[in-house]
Amino acid sequence: MKLLVCNIGIIFILFFVTGSYSGAEEHGRAYFEKTGDVIWDIKAEEKVIALTFDDGPHSVYTPQILDVLAKYNAKATFFVIGEHAKKFPHLISREKNEGHEIANHTYTHSYSNQDKLEEELRKTDEVIYNITGAYPLFYRPIGGEYNERIVNTAVQQGFRVIMWSWHQDTQDWKRPGVNKIVSKVLSGARPGDIVLFHDAGGDRSQTVEALQDILPALKKEGYTFVTVSELLQRTGIEVFN
């Protein structure tokens, strides 16, 4: 089911990219990093890492993940789907109350054109604001797909686009096994990483179990787990409110 949803989302995005922006010069990571509009990871001197979770909240796995984070005093950023947040507002409130950051991951995990993306972002913004009293600062594109129009649409609505470290995509949605998730994170860990996990979209029991190994291991190495906002602030990047 997760694979089907992801494929549908990517099809929509490809239509958005090729249909709405055909013939235009496309820019890559280096260009967007220079603009400061898109972040993949940060060069940091301190041993700080930002854990991020997509597609939630989920009634079962999000509370379990929050329990593990609390156990190790780890803060994270949750890129939430608006319709899920509306269904489980108490989990969004818990994330906020426990010091985590809430970010925008669209309302339905799909969009087909610029107007639809604007609507998806706006609806999720309103849901998050109605629960937390604050609008999110960050947006993560579905499947990590981006182009100038997607980025500009997000920026015009006040977002900075947050991706993830290419070497820290756990691919936990594929359920590759706890050991593989743990090994992926620990073997590549470096200061300033943004790590991609999922707390919804399918069975996330492997993610929960992997976190119970990852967090104490990285803490032993001297790492601190911070929100995306704190990661940017600690490395001298301005965070706009």
- Annotated catalytic residue 172: no
- Annotated catalytic residue 54: yes
pLDDT band per the 50, 70, 90 thresholds, residue 25: low
Please tell me which residue in 41, 172, 198, 199 is annotated as part of the active site: 198
- For the beta carbon of residue 141, count every other beta carbon within 10 angstroms: 22
Q: Are 199 and 78 in contact (CB under 8 A)?
A: yes
Token code pair at residue 14: 């490809």
Amino acid residing at 198 = H
Can you list the alpha helix ranges (DSSP code H) found in the chain?
A: 2-20, 29-35, 61-71, 82-87, 89-97, 114-132, 148-156, 178-188, 205-220, 228-234
Length of the chain measured in residues: 241
Distance CA 132, CA 111 (A): 25
Beta-carbon contacts of residue 44 (< 8 Å; ≥ 6 apart):
191, 192, 231, 234, 235
Distance CA 191, CA 223 (A): 8
Beta-carbon contacts of residue 180 (< 8 Å; ≥ 6 apart):
none
- For the beta carbon of residue 18, count every other beta carbon within 10 angstroms: 11
- On the question of pLDDT at 202 being above 90, the answer is yes
Convert the pLDDT of each residue in 128-186 to its tens digit: 999 999 999 999 999 999 999 999 999 999 999 999 999 999 999 999 999 999 999 99
Convert the pLDDT of each residue in 99-120 to its tens digit: 999 999 999 998 878 899 999 9
Q: Are 78 and 56 in contact (CB under 8 A)?
A: yes
Q: Summarize the confidence of residues 202-218 as an average pLDDT.
A: 98
What per-residue confidence (pLDDT) applies to 36? Answer: 93
Please tell me which residue in 54, 55, 193, 199 is annotated as part of the active site: 54
Task: Report yes or no on whether pTM surpasses 0.85.
Answer: yes
